[in-house]
A and B are shown apart, each in its own frame.
Chain A
Amino acid sequence: MKLNIDGLLVYFPYDYIYPEQYSYMLELKRTLDAKGHGVLEMPSGTGKTISLLSLIVAYQKAYPLEVTKLVYCSRTVPEIEKVVEELRKLMDYYTKQTEAKNDFLALALSSRKNLCIHPEVSALRFGKEVDGKCHSLTASYIRAQHHSNPSQPVCQFYEEFDAVGRQVPIPPGIYNLDDLKDFGRRKGWCPYFLARYAILHANIVVYSYHYLLDPKIADLVSKELAKKSVVVFDEAHNIDNVCIDSMSVNITRRTLDRCQTNVETLQNTISRIKETDAAKLREEYSRLVEGLKEANVARETDMYLSNPVLPDEILQEAVPGSIRTAEHFVGFMKRFLEYLKARLRIHHVVQESAPQFLKDIYEKVCIDRKPLRFCAERLRSLLRTLEIADIADFSAITLISHFATLVSTYSKGFTIIIEPFEDRTPTIANPVLHFSCMDPSIAIKPVFGRFQSVIITSGTLSPLDIYPRILDFRPVTVASFTMTLARTCLCPLIVGRGNDQVAMTSKFETREDFAVIRNYGNLLLEMSAIVPDGIVAFFTSYIYMENIVASWYEQGILENIQRNKLIFIETQDAAETSMALEKYQEACENGRGAILLSVARGKVSEGIDFVHHYGRAVIMFGVPYVYTQSRILKARLEYLRDQFQIRENDFLTFDAMRHAAQCVGRAIRGKTDYGLMIFADKRYARADKRGKLPRWIQEHLTDGSLNLTIDETVQLGKHFLRQMAQPFRQEDQLGLSLLTLEQLQSEDMLQKIAQIAQQA
Chain B
Amino acid sequence: PKKNVSWFPQKYKAAQTVFNIDKKCQKISPDGKAKIQLQLLLHTGESTTFHFANGSTALKDRDATKELLQQLLPKFKKKANKELEEKNRMLQEDPVLFQLYKDLVVSQVISAEEFWANRLSLNTVEHSLSNNNKQEVGISAAFLADIRPQTDGCNGLRYNLTSDIIESIFRTYPTVKQKYAENIPHNMTEKEFWTRFFQSHYFHRDRISTGQQDIFSECAKQDEKGLKSMVTQGVKNPMVDLLSLEDKSLDEGYGTATVPTTSNSSNKSLRENSNSAIIKRFNHHSAMVLAAGLRKAEAPSDQASETSSTDGNSRDSDFFQPPLKKVKLQESIEYDDLQGDSGRQTIALNLKKSDRYSHGPIPLQSQHYTTSQDIINSISIIQHEMRNYKPRLTQVMSSNAASSAITALSPGGLLMQGGGQQTINQLVPTDVQSELKHLYTAAGELLRHFWSCFPVNTPFLEEKVVKMKSNLERFQVTKLRPFQEKIQQQYLSTNLTGHLEEMLQAAYSKFQVWQTRRMMRKT
Contact = CB atoms under 8 A, between A and B. Distances in A.
Given A14-B339, A550-B275, A590 B294 contact: yes
Nearest to B255: A245
A576 B332 contact: no
Contacts of B138: 592
A248 B256 contact: yes
Interface in B205-242: 205-206, 227, 230-232, 234-242
Interface string A109-148: 0111110000000000011101100000000000000000
Contacts of A246: 254-255
A634 interface: no
B202 to A, nearest CB: 16
Interface in A548-579: 549-550, 553, 556, 558-560, 562-563, 565-569, 571-579
A708 interface: no
A14 B234 contact: no
B485 interface: no
B333 A248 contact: no
Contacts of A577: 242
Interface in A414-433: 422, 425, 428, 430, 432
A576 B231 contact: yes
Contact of B293 (A396, A430, A592, A609): A592
Nearest to A609: B332
A250 B286 contact: no
Main secondary structure of the interface of A (DSSP, over half): helix
B242 A574 contact: yes
Contact of B249 (A47, A49, A130, A560): A130
Contacts of B339: 14-16
B251 A252 contact: no
Contacts of A252: 253, 259
B520 interface: no
A188 interface: no
B280 interface: yes
> Of residues A81, A86, A113, which shows the largest number of chain B Cβ atoms within 10 Å of its Cβ?
A81
B251 A395 contact: yes
A546 B276 contact: yes
B250 to A, nearest CB: 8
Given A567-B141, A607-B245, A579 B332 contact: no
Contacts of B162: none
B296 to A, nearest CB: 13
A582 B235 contact: yes
Contacts of B240: 578, 581-582, 585, 608
A204 to B, nearest CB: 16
A76 B256 contact: no
A630 to B, nearest CB: 8
> Of residues A559, A580, A608, which shows the largest number of chain B Cβ atoms within 10 Å of its Cβ?
A580
A47 B290 contact: no
B338 A17 contact: yes
A594 B261 contact: no
B289 to A, nearest CB: 6
B262 to A, nearest CB: 7
A583 B284 CA distance: 10
Interface residues of B, number: 69
A112 B247 CA distance: 10
B189 interface: no
A113 B341 contact: no
B338 A18 contact: yes
Interface string B138-158: 101110110000000000000
Contacts of B386: none
A568 B283 contact: yes
B287 A579 contact: yes
Contacts, number: 231
Contacts of B482: none
Given A82-B332, A738-B338, A563 B140 contact: yes
Contact of B230 (A16, A569, A579, A586): A579
A562 B142 contact: yes
Interface residues of A, number: 106
Interface string B32-62: 0000000000000000000000000000000
A207 B274 CA distance: 41
B290 A586 contact: yes
B255 A250 contact: yes
A567 B338 contact: no
> Of residues A249, A567, A585, which shows the largest number of chain B Cβ atoms within 10 Å of its Cβ?
A567
A603 interface: yes
Contacts of A568: 282-283, 286
B274 A566 contact: no
A80 interface: yes
Interface stretch (B83-91, B322-330, B503-511): B322-330
A82 B340 CA distance: 21
A114 B338 contact: no
A580 to B, nearest CB: 5
B302 interface: no
A251 interface: yes
A93 to B, nearest CB: 12
Interface in A333-358: none
B324 to A, nearest CB: 12
Nearest to B313: A579
A307 to B, nearest CB: 14
A582 B278 contact: no
A399 B231 CA distance: 31
Given A18-B338, A82-B329, A571-B276, A579 B246 contact: no
Contacts of A78: 238-239, 245, 329, 332
Contacts of B272: 546
Nearest to B335: A47
A733 interface: yes
Contact of A572 (B144, B263, B332): B263
A608 B243 CA distance: 12
B359 interface: no
Contact of A14 (B242, B248, B275, B338): B338
B329 A85 contact: yes
Contacts of A497: none
Contacts of A563: 140-142, 145
A254 interface: yes
> Of residues B251, B330, B336, B339, which shows the largest number of chain A Cβ atoms within 10 Å of its Cβ?
B251
A620 interface: no
A577 B142 CA distance: 22
A254 B263 CA distance: 13
Contacts of A422: 261
A249 B145 contact: no
B80 to A, nearest CB: 36
Interface in A508-560: 546-547, 549-550, 553, 556, 558-560
B244 interface: yes
A740 to B, nearest CB: 9
Given A246-B254, A436-B256, A592-B293, 6 more contacts: A77-B244, A560-B142, A568-B286, A582-B235, A608-B242, A730-B341
9 contacts: A113-B244, A246-B254, A249-B253, A436-B256, A549-B275, A571-B279, A576-B280, A578-B243, A590-B294
Q: Which 8 A-B pairs have the closest CB atoms?
A: A127-B249, A15-B340, A559-B145, A562-B142, A245-B255, A208-B247, A14-B338, A562-B141
